Structure 1
């Protein structure tokens, strides 16, 4: 009887060890995938606050909450099953789809830079349409636009995650995709909520009697617009370096190693020139070169979109 009990306890301890090892493996894989998707996460956090700008303070958090729920729905109901089916049926499509997403990121980043350099005149019809919308309609429109944008970024995050665990078991892939999807959504929209409400918090602090607290509040109120501008610039840079890096890595997988080899070589040479900051310098130079390549790809994509795709769509619409 006692030996049977000890055997049972031993089996339970063994199962607990296996379960703990599985949890550790999931956490390690999810952390690795989240690190690879860091650039897209930064861009997501940089893009989303603008969807809550211009509304009453009481509506900011509900808007962020609805966008976050839409993001979770994108990841867990659509993208996660799609990624698992893709891994089972056509795993060879993962890299091409990643590269297509990389081109999209480069296109978006290049368009933002192009808009800064050569700003477009706002369309009168669009302005009139926006003016005609009431607050509720405008809120619904903003939320729908944010969820659509999130879908593209979430698809890229899930594809990067899937590529990280492509050799793992089906259930490991599903668990890691779910953990990354939920974790990144909570992280991004938690940060977005803090950013959106920072000016309100600053205003409340600025009205306090204690001088240091009042000074901190004023600093928040004055500094938040500049912070949002800087965050937008970081988001644009993240689009270009992540998109360019994904395309370079994809080309290497197809045997086209020249661009990746040159980029790695220049980053390594820069690191050797400043050995005290070797790792940081190598990463920075590599990211900068990926961003430059991404800007070139994005420029080509802009030309293709405006000179080829849009005229073709107009012709089909006319017919």
Structure 2
């Protein structure tokens, strides 16, 4: 009897260890997959505040909540099942899908730069939604929420595809859990950060008016820092999109046997890193990231030119 109990306890301990190991694997996979999505996440956080610009301050948080719910629906209800089906039945398409997504990120990053410089020359701000005449505030709010959710669907698809690419060799249960964790965590993180960002000036103004001394100074600093923060997020988000998108394409080239260019980049990065052995790994990472960003910008600019030429041809036909 005692031996039977001991055997049972051993089995329970083994199951517990297995479960713990599985949870550890899921946690590591989720962190790895989430970190690879950094460029898309940063851009998502940088883009979203624009959708509440020009609206009543009292409606900012409700709008962000609506967008967050739409984002969660995109990731968990639409994209997660599609990602699992792709992994289960068409795994060979994961790399091509990732490369298509990477190309889209490169296009988006390059398009942002093209629009930025063209608007600077023309003296425009580029935010078309702010120039649409709406008599009904709810109609404007619905329009902005719908636009934000559509944009989020594309960015969320990239996040889930990148995450899936990092765990493509895992079983379907692990993939489902990791994709769910990544989707929920990123949604909470992004829209929680967005909520803080859009309310930063209000918080700063409240501190500046209701307090004195150091707290008042902090409030004034928050108010003044808001435009700089948004500008910095925009720059970092664009750079991250180009870096992540270019990196995905470069990795895909290696998978399909077109590794001469990736090998060249890695070789140069290794050589530069060897010049300072103390920080070899960091320098190699930075050089590879720069190469990926430059490659992403070049590819994205080509796609932008092709897209503009195609749009121009359509307008001529019309």
> Could you list the per-position Cα deviations for residues 191-232 of structure 1 after superposition, in whole angstroms to 9, with x for gaps in the alignment?
111111111111111123340111011000001111110110
Q: Say which SS state the counterpart of residue 118 (structure 1) adopts.
A: helix
Note closer, same or farther for the CA distance 1:144–1:237 as it changes in structure 2 (3 Å cut): same
| Partner of residue 97, structure 1 | 97
Specify every segment of 5 or more residues in structure 1 that has no aligned partner in the other structure, as ranges: none
Counterpart of 2:52 in structure 1 is 52
Whole-angstrom distance in 2 between the partners of 1:42 and 1:200: 23
Aligned residues: 314
- The match for 1:152 among 151, 154, 178 is 154
- Which deviates further from its counterpart, 103-112 or 10-19? 10-19
Secondary structure, aligned partner of 2:257: coil
Q: Name the residue aligned to 2:262.
A: 260
Distance (whole Å) between structure 2 residues aligned to residue 128 and residue 241 of structure 1: 30
**Does residue 135 of the first structure (1) align with residue 114 of the second (2)?**
no
Unpaired runs of 5+ residues, structure 2, are: none
Deviation, structure 1 residue 280: 2.6
What's the CA shift string for 1:96-126, capped at 9, x where partnerless? 1111111111111111111222226769xx6
Q: What pairs up with 1:57-76 in 2 under 5 angstroms?
A: 57-76=57-76
Q: Secondary structure at the match of 2:133?
A: helix
- The alignment's TM-score, normalised by the length of structure 2, stands at 0.92
Matches of 2:31 and 2:158, distance apart in 1 = 16
- The alignment partner of 2:258 has SS state of coil
The question of 1:39 aligning with 2:34 is answered: no
| Alpha-carbon distance in structure 2 between the residues aligned to 1:270 and 1:170 | 40
Secondary structure at the counterpart of residue 256 of structure 1: coil
Mapped partners of 1:128, 1:50: distance in 2: 10
- Structure 1, residues 169-194: CA drift from partner, whole Å, max 9, x if none? 11111111111111111111111111
Counterpart Cα distance in 2 of 1:245 and 1:267: 14
**Distance across 2 between alignment mates of 1:152 and 1:168:** 25
Aligned-residue offset at 1:310: 5.7
Normalising by structure 1, report the TM-score.
Answer: 0.92
Question: Once the 2 structures are TM-superposed, how far is the Cα of residue 306 of structure 1 from its aligned partner?
Answer: 1.5
Q: Structure 2 matches for 1:1-319, cutoff 5 A?
A: 1-119=1-119, 130-308=132-310, 311-312=313-314, 315=317
Residue pair 2:273, 2:280 contacting (<8 A) in 1 also:
yes
